Chain A
Amino acid sequence: EADIYQTPRYLVIGTGKKITLECSQTMGHDKMYWYQQDPGMELHLIHYSYGVNSTEKGDLSSESTVSRIRTEHFPLTLESARPSHTSQYLCASSETIDIAGELFFGEGSRLTVL
Chain B
Amino acid sequence: KQEVTQIPAALSVPEGENLVLNCSFTDSAIYNLQWFRQDPGKGLTSLLLIQSSQREQTSGRLNASLDKSSGRSTLYIAASQPGDSATYLCAVGSYNTDKLIFGTGTRLQVFP
Could you tell me which A residues sit within 8 Å of B by CB distance? 2, 6, 33, 40, 42-43, 45, 48, 58-59, 88, 90, 92, 97-108, 110
Interface size on B, residues (CB 8 A): 25
Which of B89, B94, B98 has the largest count of A CB atoms less than 10 A from its CB? B98
Give the number of residue pairs across the A-B interface with Cβ within 8 Å: 57
Could you tell me which B residues sit within 8 Å of A by CB distance? 31-32, 34, 36, 41-46, 49, 89, 91, 93-95, 97-100, 102-105, 107
Question: A102 and B42 in contact (CB under 8 A), knowing A42-B102, A42-B104, A45-B99?
Answer: no
Alpha-carbon separation in the docked complex, A97 to B31 (Å): 13
Question: A100 and B98 in contact (CB under 8 A), knowing A42-B104, A88-B41, A108-B41?
Answer: yes
Q: Which of A6, A45, A58, A104 contacts B46 (CB 8 A)?
A: A104
B32 touches A100 (CB 8 A): yes
A105 touches B43 (CB 8 A): yes
B31 touches A102 (CB 8 A): no
A102 touches B102 (CB 8 A): no
